[in-house]
Structure 1
Amino acid sequence: MTEDIMVDVKGRKIAVLAADGVEEVELTEPVKALESAGAKITVVSLKTGQIQAMQQDVNPGRKIDVDLALAEADASDFDGLLLPGGTTNPDKLRMDEKAVAFVRAFVDADKPIAAICHGPWMLIEAGGAKGRTLTSWPSLQTDLRNAGAEWVDRTVVKDGRLVTSRNPQDLPAFCEGVVSLFAEAA
C-alpha cells in the first residue's frame, strides 16, 4: 500500500454488513487493512451484541462485536460497504428485506462496494450484479450469470466502484483492492 492511499482513506466511514456464519478472515483481514489505512469501520448486523464468525464454514471462530443494528443503519451515513462471505452469512442476509434494502441503497447511490466469496449473493438480491464483471466463490457463478453479470475466475476483479474476490486465499490482493477502491472514491 502506498502512503497516498493511506491518506485518502483516512476518515472514510465503511459499513461491514455481516451476520452469524460470516467467514472470520473475510471480515477481519479487510477490516484490519482498512483500519490501518485510517478508515472508520462499523459492523452492521441483523441484531445487536455479537455475531458468531466461522473458520472455513465449519469451525466456530471468534465472536465479532456488532456496532450497529441494521434497523438503525442508514446507508447515507457511510462512504462504502464491505460484504464478507461464508455461506451462511450472505444467505441469512439476502433473506432479510432490510439487509437487501441497505445494500441496494449503496448500489443506487453508486457508492463503492467490496464483496468476497459468497458476499456477491447480496449484490444479486440488491440489483447490483447486472451488467457487471464479477468474481466469487465458484459455486455462485451460475447465480451471477443468471443475474446478468459476467463471471470470471480471477483473484480480484474491479468493475467501476465494485471490487470482488473469490476466497480467503485471495485476501492479500483483495485487501489491497478494497483499500484502493475506497481511496479512489474519496
Structure 2
Amino acid sequence: MSNKLQGKKVAILATDGFEQIELTKPKEAVEAEGATVDIISLKADDIQGMNHDEKGDTFSVDKVVSAVNAKDYDGLILPGGVQNPDTLRTDEKAVTFVRDFFAQHKPVSAICHGPWMLVEADVLNNRKVTSFPSLKTDIVNAGGNWVDEEVVCDQALVTSRTPDDLPAFCRKIVEELREGKHDQQHV
C-alpha cells in the first residue's frame, strides 16, 4: 500500500442497480493509496450491485446522503449502471451533494452512466467529458463537450466510458485526489 492519499476521505454515491465493478475497482484503487472511503446512498439498507444485467453482490452503506456534506470529503466517485444514476438523479439531496463538490472545487469522477448525475446537477457547461455512448445527447444538451475517449479530465472532473476503461479511470482518480482542490471555472 502506498500513502499517496493518506488522510484523504472519498465518497462513493450509489444506490441499487450500480455496475458493481465500477464501484469496487475505484474503491480498491483509492484505498490501496491510503484513502478512507464511504459508500453513500439514499437509504441505510444494503445496496444491490449488478454485473451488467445480472444481480451481483450487495454492499453495506456507510452513510445516507441526507446526513452527509461534501465539505467532509476530498472527492466523489459516481459509478454507473443504468438504474443507479437514473434513481439518484431524482433525489434532490443526492443532486445537491454532487453539485456541492463542484462548488467546493473538489475532484469528481464518473464512469459509464454515472455522468447522468452531472447532467442533473447542471455542472457540465463547457466541460469536456465522456460517458457510455447513449448519454452523449444528454451531455451535449447540458452544455458539455462529449468525446469518445478512454478517460477525460477537465479541471478535476474525471470521466470514462465503460468498465473496459477502469484501469485508466482509476489511475486518473488517484492523481486528481492527490492534487486536491482545483480552480474550476465552470461551476
TM-score by length of 1: 0.95
Q: Distance in 2 between matches of 1:8 and 1:32?
A: 14
CA deviations over 1:85-117 (Å, ceiling 9, x no partner): 000000000011110011011111111100000
CA RMSD of aligned residues (A): 1.1
Mapping 1:142-157, distance limit 5 Å: 142-157=137-152
SS in 1 for 2:18: coil
Give the aligned length: 181
More helix by percentage: 1
Q: Distance in 1 between matches of 2:39 and 2:164?
A: 23
The aligned residue for residue 47 of structure 1 is: 43
Whether 2:79 is the aligned partner of 1:84: answer yes
The aligned residue for residue 180 of structure 1 is: 175
The unaligned stretches of length 5 or more in structure 1 are none
Whether 2:15 is the aligned partner of 1:19: answer yes
Post-superposition offset of 1:36: 0.2
Of residues 21-30 and 121-130 in structure 1, the stretch that sits farther from structure 2 once superposed is: 121-130
SS in 1 for 2:175: helix
Whether 2:118 is the aligned partner of 1:136: answer no
C-alpha contact (below 8 Å) 1:117/1:137 kept by paired residues:
yes
The unaligned stretches of length 5 or more in structure 2 are 182-187
Q: Distance in 2 between matches of 1:71 and 1:143?
A: 27
Runs of 4 or more above 6 Å deviation: none
Post-superposition offset of 1:167: 0.4
AA matched with 1:55? N
SS in 1 for 2:148: coil
Aligned residues with identical type, % of pairs: 51
SS in 1 for 2:3: helix
SS in 1 for 2:59: strand
Q: Select which of 111, 128, 131 maps to 1:116.
A: 111
Post-superposition offset of 1:130: 0.8
TM-score by length of 2: 0.94
